[in-house]
């Protein structure tokens, strides 16, 4: 016969006392209620990771940060003062990047020991070194179409052109927006001098570079074509818009742009310059990768 276990309440302190069984608990009612509540034999299930409810805390913080950011941006955009500050910051960063690009191009040319296309033309040096854009104006005082082009220059570019001359080259940030160099097909020095404007640079009538530039760009008057022994691509008037840093031709249609856009032509040429600057940086980066 199985020996009955001694109840813990009656054998307190006895070394021979046996532990209670579940039957003993059920019969005696010991532990059936604690503080008026039913005692549980199974332990409560708890969430891992500590206290209950802490799992959603990171999500709440992230949501709060997102809402705060949206509120700040809404205020920044709705505030005229903030808009102006943002525009000024972007413009300043753009100017800084352009300056870095210009310095990078100059350093790259030295590193490669290469010449730019117009480096040999000393008559262009001043304009190329002191303006962002250089207009090469091929024309003549006897040409009726050139008279119309010259009037467009007077009406739309005159106030923007770099005044000659100036000693030394300007830093890219201090360059004028645009300069003009007149390359004439005039019949005499007197005709040339009587035609140029105060804010034009020009290639001297007796300079060899006057002919060399016409051949370089394949531009001349019809009557000069046989004498110069060249197959011209453009007649006169022609206005080539040149990037003064890279010597690239942005457009050969400067005269047409002035006729169609008026004083907005300069803004158009600057937008072309911005586009070329981005392309130049990518091209140089590719060249460096090849090395």
Tens digit of each residue's pLDDT (9 = 90 or more) over 126-159: 999 999 999 999 999 999 999 999 999 999 999 9
Average pLDDT over residues 63-89: 59
Ranges 32-41, 68-77, 85-94, 256-265: which has the least confidence = 32-41
**Domains of the chain with bracketed CATH:** 122-273 (3.40.30.10)
In the chain, % of residues over pLDDT 70 = 53
Instruction: State the Cα–Cα distance between residues 215 and 233, nearest whole angstrom.
Output: 10
Q: What is the pLDDT of residue 151?
A: 98
Query: What is the reported pTM?
Result: 0.60
pLDDT at 30 over 50: no
Overall size of the chain counted in residues: 291
Write phi, then psi, for 187 (nearest 5 degrees).
-90, -10
The confidence score (pLDDT) of residue 146 equals: 98
Q: Which of 8-22, 70-84, 207-221, 260-274 has the lowest mean pLDDT?
A: 8-22
Residue 125 pLDDT > 50: yes
Mean pLDDT of 15-26: 51
- Lowest mean per-residue pLDDT among 20-34, 143-157, 219-233, 263-277: 20-34
Mean pLDDT for the stretch of residues 214-242: 96
**What distance in Å separates the CA atoms of residue 49 and residue 61, rounded to the nearest whole number?**
18
Cα 174 from Cα 182, distance rounded (Å): 23
Which structure tokens are listed for 239? 């206005």
Sorting pLDDT into bands at 50, 70 and 90, what band is 35?
very low
List, in sequence order, the alpha helices (H) in 55-206: 57-78, 80-112, 125-130, 144-156, 189-195
Cβ–Cβ under 8 Å, residues 180 and 201:
yes
User: In the predicted model, what is the mean pLDDT of residues 46-74?
Assistant: 57
Q: Given pLDDT bands bounded at 50, 70 and 90, which one contains residue 277?
A: confident
Q: How far apart are CA 263 and CA 276, in angstroms?
A: 22
Q: 276 pLDDT band (50/70/90 cuts)?
A: confident
H or E, element range at 131: strand 131-139
Could you give the CA distance from residue 110 to residue 148 in angstroms, rounded to a whole number?
42
Q: Which residue has the tokens 């813990």?
A: 8
Q: How far is CA 137 from each of CA 183, 191, 237, rounded to the nearest angstrom?
A: 6, 16, 7
- How many CB atoms are located within 10 Å of the residue 22 CB? 8
What pLDDT was estimated at residue 33?
Answer: 46
- Residue owning tokens 């304009």: 127
How much is the mean pLDDT over the chain?
Answer: 76
Sign for the pseudo-dihedral over CA of 46, 49, 53, 56? negative
pLDDT at 41: 45
- Asked if 237 and 143 touch (Cβ cutoff 8 Å), the reply is yes
Residue 217's closest CA among 185, 239, 195?
239
Q: How confident is the model at residue 10 (pLDDT cuts 50, 70, 90)?
A: very low
- Whether pLDDT at 188 is above 80: yes
Residue 204 has pLDDT above 90, yes or no: yes
Kindly report which listed range (39-48, 174-183, 224-233, 266-275) carries the lowest average pLDDT score.
39-48
pLDDT higher than threshold 70 for residue 208: yes
39 or 269, which is more confident? 269
Q: Which residues contact 75 (CB under 8 A, 6 or more apart)?
A: 82
Q: Judge whether 176 and 131 are in contact, CB under 8 Å.
A: yes
Calculate the CA dihedral of residues 233, 234, 235, 239 and round it to 10 degrees: -160
In degrees to the nearest 10, what's the CA dihedral of 43, 49, 54, 59? -140
- Give me the pLDDT at residue 124, please: 96
């Amino acid at each position: 016969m199985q020996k009955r276990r001694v109840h813990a309440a009656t054998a307190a302190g006895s070394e021979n006392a046996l532990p209670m069984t579940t039957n003993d608990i059920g019969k005696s009612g010991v532990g059936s209620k604690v503080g008026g509540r039913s005692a549980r034999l199974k332990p409560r299930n708890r969430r891992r990771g500590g206290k209950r409810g802490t799992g959603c805390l990171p999500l709440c913080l992230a949501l709060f940060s997102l809402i705060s950011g949206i509120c700040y941006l809404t205020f920044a955009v709705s505030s005229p003062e903030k808009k102006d500050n943002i525009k000024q910051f972007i413009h300043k960063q753009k100017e800084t990047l352009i300056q870095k690009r210009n310095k990078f191009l100059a350093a790259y040319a030295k590193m490669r020991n290469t010449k730019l296309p117009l480096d040999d033309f000393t008559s262009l040096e001043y304009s190329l070194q002191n303006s962002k854009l250089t207009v090469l104006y091929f024309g003549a005082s006897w040409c009726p179409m050139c008279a119309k082009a010259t009037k467009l220059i007077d009406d739309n570019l005159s106030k923007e052109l770099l005044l000659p001359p100036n000693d030394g080259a300007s830093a890219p940030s201090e360059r004028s927006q645009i300069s003009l160099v007149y390359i004439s097909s005039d019949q005499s020095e007197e005709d040339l001098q009587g035609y140029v404007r105060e804010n034009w640079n020009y290639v001297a009538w007796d300079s060899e570079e006057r002919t060399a530039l016409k051949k370089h760009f394949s531009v001349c008057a019809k009557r000069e074509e046989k004498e110069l022994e060249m197959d011209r691509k453009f007649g006169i008037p022609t206005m080539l818009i040149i990037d003064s840093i890279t010597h690239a031709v942005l457009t050969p249609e400067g005269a047409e742009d002035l006729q169609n856009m008026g004083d907005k032509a300069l803004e158009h040429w600057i937008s072309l310059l911005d586009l070329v600057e981005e392309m130049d940086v990518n091209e140089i980066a590719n060249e460096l990768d090849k090395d």
